[in-house]
Amino acid sequence: MGEGLQSPRIAPSAATQEVRPVPSPYPLAKELARPVARGYLTLTEAHAELLLAACLAVRAGYSDQDAAGIWRLQRHVLGLHLEAEERRRDLVEAQVKRRARKMIALRKPRNAVLAEAHGENGAAGFPLEEREVTNLVRSEMFWALPPGGPRHAR
């Protein structure tokens, strides 16, 4: 590692010409994976943020690479973390459904099923939002109910 990578990078602000540190562009790709997986950011918006971070890093002299090279690596890292986040979300969704089905079969009250489902989500580090977990439990409870009789169409 060269001396340049260990010292903090500094870039002047365009508006005020004050000096502020420029963070490493690489951790940003990992941080953007969860908002993209949850739908808060589109992939295009995340790529734009990564390109901006790469350009700022090159301008500040953070790396010997060009901005396009840094951006390609960031996109690759984002893709890897996005795949892992989506896999984690799918796994937790399956675990929540399985736990809910077991508790519904035992005729547990709805609030107890919801509490267990949210506990399952929390144990995995909250990859799903609260409303997603609630909707999963609601759906499982709906399909577990017996049909309403001949007058009720399902």
- Give a yes or no: residue 26 inside a domain: yes
For the stretch 5-53, pLDDT in tens is 444 444 555 556 665 666 777 889 999 999 999 999 999 999 999 999 9
| Residue 39 resides in a domain | yes
pTM of the model: 0.72
Q: Which domain holds residue 51?
A: 21-144
In a domain, 5, yes or no: no
In a domain, 92, yes or no: yes
Question: Is 152 a domain residue?
Answer: no
For CA atoms 106, 109, 114, 119, give the dihedral sign. Answer: negative
User: In the chain, how long is the greatest CA-to-CA distance?
Assistant: 79
**Nearest partner of 87 among 45, 29, 128, judged by Cα:** 128
Task: Please give the structure tokens belonging to residue 150.
Answer: 């001949």
Count of structural domains within the chain: 1
Q: Does residue 38 belong to any structural domain of this protein?
A: yes
Does residue 128 surpass a pLDDT of 80?
A: yes
Q: Is residue 11 part of a domain?
A: no
Q: Is 14 within the bounds of a domain?
A: no
CA distance 77 to 47: 11
Q: Which amino acid is at 96?
A: V
